[in-house]
């Protein structure tokens, strides 16, 4: 099946289509991980994005359904050099191609992902259009240029829960209210393993509604798009700071910064992968982390409010963690729950926030 990928800068790449026929427009981003594609494709933070893997072979252990981070594929489409048609693993239920097709999503294979990655690093993440069932490159480029930029789209409403729900822990254990901006299941797994009582609320929850739940702590989750779109969550942070401990992961790190008066900005091509080095100022240790974000906290703006930078990315010096100077507020830009990725920081983050709450 013919397929063509067009970028807003005029780049046209033709390949073989798989999955559903149709047209998909979004921001083309790349991830450097070579395992964990099942978790990545179902990560709500990839909503609105066409996901490209830099590793040349994806799908060799199939799709099991056991590590989904949501109820299905959240990335708009998949771009790979090669998609393994005959996976080999005892837990595999279907191939990557069968999964994409079953989700009604589009994919393209047989393309030069190395060239596309270099182009993205040079020009920044670009709008793209994937057309499966056609080879018209000019039309794909036109569609890409017509599509809104990621900052102009409300992606949070499409991935947040519609109604609050609870996950029971031990009696007398801390009660954590989680604001769902597109939360990964692995974050809830990490909390549940520690037997805390969890109430998950939609992104539209107001500060007084959160406070009525009598939380011992509030956790702001990961999510897609521009953090400035998370207006209700930003307001929750602003109004509850000092009244209840507040913690954040990834998108939540940016939301906390905004709620306390700092600023955020869009990265050129973001951090997406399972091997990002993060230096912790307190311990001096460099952790290898899993990341997926296209925005970051502005370090200069942090210094103007009652926050401090606690961790930075060892590659480019961007902010990877912040903490309040005297309130119980702490957040990280990476994914400590590590699905997929190394487990270096899972206990460090979740055990620390529980100690702070207790």
Domains and CATH numbers, the chain: 2-152 (3.50.30.20), 156-357 (3.40.50.880)
Within a 13 Å sphere around the CA of 173, how many CA atoms are in the beta-carbon half?
17
Query: For this structure, is 337 an active site residue?
Result: yes
User: CA distances (Å), 54 to each of 11, 27, 38, 272, in order?
Assistant: 18, 16, 15, 11
pLDDT of residue 303: 87
User: CA distances (Å), 22 to each of 88, 101, 106, 293, in order?
Assistant: 29, 12, 7, 27
Query: For this structure, is 250 an active site residue?
Result: yes
CA dist., res. 289 & res. 270, Å (int):
14
Token pair for 95: 């191939």
Three-state DSSP at 191 gives: helix
pLDDT single digits (tens) 125-170: 999 999 999 989 999 999 999 999 999 999 999 999 999 999 999 9
Within 8 A by CB and 6+ apart from 215, the residues are 175, 176, 177, 199, 244
What are phi and psi for residue 17, nearest 5 degrees? -85, 150
Q: Are 134 and 14 in contact (CB under 8 A)?
A: no
Identify the burial level of 146 via C-beta atoms within 10 angstroms of its C-beta, where 0-12 means exposed, 13-18 middle and 19 or more buried.
exposed
The pTM (predicted TM-score) of the whole model is 0.96
Q: How far apart are the first and last CA of the chain?
A: 57
Within 8 A by CB and 6+ apart from 211, the residues are 240, 243, 244
Query: For this structure, is 152 an active site residue?
Result: no
pLDDT of residue 351: 94
Q: How long a stretch of residues is the chain?
A: 358
Please identify which of the residues 185, 250, 293, 320 carries the catalytic annotation: 250
pLDDT of residue 343: 83
Residue found by looking up tokens 């230096």 in the block: 279
pLDDT of residue 342: 84
Please identify which of the residues 27, 337, 339, 346 carries the catalytic annotation: 337
Below-70 pLDDT ranges, the chain: none
Please identify which of the residues 147, 271, 287, 335 carries the catalytic annotation: 335
Token pair for 72: 């299905």
Helix pair angle (251-259, 231-240), 10° resolution: 60
């Amino acid at each position: 099946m013919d397929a063509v990928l067009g970028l807003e800068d005029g780049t046209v790449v033709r390949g073989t289509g798989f999955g559903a026929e149709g047209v998909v427009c979004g921001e083309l981003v790349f991830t450097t991980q070579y395992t964990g594609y099942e978790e990545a494709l179902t990560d709500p933070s990839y909503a609105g994005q066409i996901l490209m893997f830099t590793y040349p072979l994806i799908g060799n252990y199939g799709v099991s359904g056991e590590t989904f981070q949501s109820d299905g594929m959240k990335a708009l489409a998949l771009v790979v050099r090669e998609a393994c048609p005959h996976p080999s693993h005892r837990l595999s239920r279907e191939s990557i191609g069968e999964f994409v097709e079953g989700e009604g999503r589009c994919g393209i294979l047989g393309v030069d992902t190395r060239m596309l990655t270099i182009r993205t690093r040079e020009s920044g993440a670009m709008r793209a259009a994937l057309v499966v069932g056609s080879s018209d490159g000019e039309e794909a480029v036109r569609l890409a240029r017509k599509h809104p930029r990621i900052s102009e789209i409300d992606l949070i409403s499409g991935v947040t829960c519609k109604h609050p729900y609870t996950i029971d822990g031990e009696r007398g254990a801390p009660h954590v209210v989680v604001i769902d901006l597109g939360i990964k299941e692995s974050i809830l797994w990490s909390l549940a393993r520690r037997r805390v009582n969890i109430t998950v609320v939609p992104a539209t929850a107001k500060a007084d509604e959160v406070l009525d739940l009598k939380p011992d702590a509030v956790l702001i989750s990961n999510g897609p798009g521009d953090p400035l779109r998370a207006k209700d969550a930003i307001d929750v942070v602003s109004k509850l700071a000092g009244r209840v401990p507040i913690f954040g992961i990834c998108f939540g790190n940016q939301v906390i910064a905004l709620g306390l008066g700092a600023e955020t900005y869009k990265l050129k091509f973001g951090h997406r992968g399972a091997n990002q080095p993060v230096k912790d100022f307190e311990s001096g240790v460099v952790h290898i982390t899993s990341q997926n974000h296209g925005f970051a906290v502005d370090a200069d703006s942090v210094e103007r409010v009652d926050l401090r930078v606690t961790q930075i990315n060892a590659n480019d010096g961007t902010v990877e963690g912040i903490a309040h100077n005297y309130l119980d507020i702490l957040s990280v830009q990476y994914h400590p729950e590590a699905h997929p990725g190394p487990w270096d920081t899972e206990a460090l983050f979740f055990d620390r926030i529980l100690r702070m709450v207790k």
